[in-house]
Amino acid sequence: MNRRGRWLLSIGVIVTLAVAVILWRHHSFTHAEHQTSSTRAPMSERSLYQLESAWRTDADRSLRLRELRGHYQIVVLMFTECVGICPILVKQLQHLQTTLPPAIDASTRFVAISIDPDRDTPQVLSHYRQQMHLDSRWTLLTGDSIAVREVTAVLGFNYAPGPADQFVHSSLVSVLDPAGSVIHQQPGAADMQDIVRIIAADKERRADLSHASSLRHAAW
C-alpha cells in the first residue's frame, strides 16, 4: 500500500470508530432513559410520588412516598414537641376520621410528616402514635432535612426554626388523590368536612370516568 493509501485507510478507521462510539453512546443513553420513563409512566406529572426521598416510619421501616399510592391520603406536617397548632390539627383529623362515610373511610388514609428530623426519630414517632392513639390508618414519617425541605417546598408549607425549640410554620392540611396529586389544601382552622366533600366528588368523577370507558369498551 502506498503512503496515500495508508493515510486514507487510517482516516477511514478513525471515522468508523468514531461513528460506532457515538452510536453506542446514543443507544445506551436512550435505552437508559426509556427504562426510567416506562417505570414512571403511570404516574401523573404532578404526583408527589415522583419525589425519590427516603423516609422512615415509626416502625423504623424505610418508605418511599410512592408506597402510599392507592388511597386518598390526608397529609399533615407536624413535629412531636409542637405546643401550638400541630396536636390540635392531628386531633381534628382524628375526629374527622370517626365521621367519614364508610365508602370514603375505606379509601382514605392519614399521613403525619415530621419537620423535625433531629428530634423525631422513629422511636419518638412510635411513642407519639401511642400517646395520640393513632390507629393503623395513620402513617407517621420522618426523613432527613432535605427530604423535609423538598416535600414542604412542593406543598407550599413554610417553616423555620423558632425560639424555645419550636418551629414557626404554616398550618396546612393537604389531600392527595390515589395517584399522589394534590387535589385539595386548606389551612388547619378551616372546616374539615370540606375534605370529605372533596374526596367524595373526586371518587364520583373517577367512577364516571371508568364507567364511561367500560361503556366504550362494550361498544367496541
Point out which residues bind another protein (CB under 8 A).
Answer: 6, 10-11, 13-14, 17-18, 21-22, 25, 33, 36, 45-48, 50-51, 82-85, 149-150, 152-154, 156-160, 162-164, 166-172, 186-190
Q: How far is the CB of 217 from another protein (least distance, A)?
A: 29
Name which of 17 and 209 has its Cβ closer to another protein: 17
Q: How far is the CB of 95 from another protein (least distance, A)?
A: 17
Q: How far is the CB of 25 from another protein (least distance, A)?
A: 7
Q: How far is the CB of 155 from another protein (least distance, A)?
A: 9
Name which of 71 and 149 has its Cβ closer to another protein: 149
Name which of 88 and 215 has its Cβ closer to another protein: 88
SS (H, E, C) the chain: CCHHHHHHHHHHHHHHHHHHHHHHHHHHHHHHHHHHHHHHCCCCCCCHHHCCCEEEECCCCEEEHHHHCCCEEEEEEECCCCCCHHHHHHHHHHHHHHHCCHHHHHCEEEEEEECCCCCCCHHHHHHHHHHHCCCCCEEEEEECHHHHHHHHHHHCCCEEECCCCCEEECCEEEEECCCCCEEEEEECCCCCHHHHHHHHHHHHHHHHHHHHHHHHHHHC
Name which of 14 and 212 has its Cβ closer to another protein: 14
Name which of 44 and 99 has its Cβ closer to another protein: 44
Q: How far is the CB of 130 from another protein (least distance, A)?
A: 24
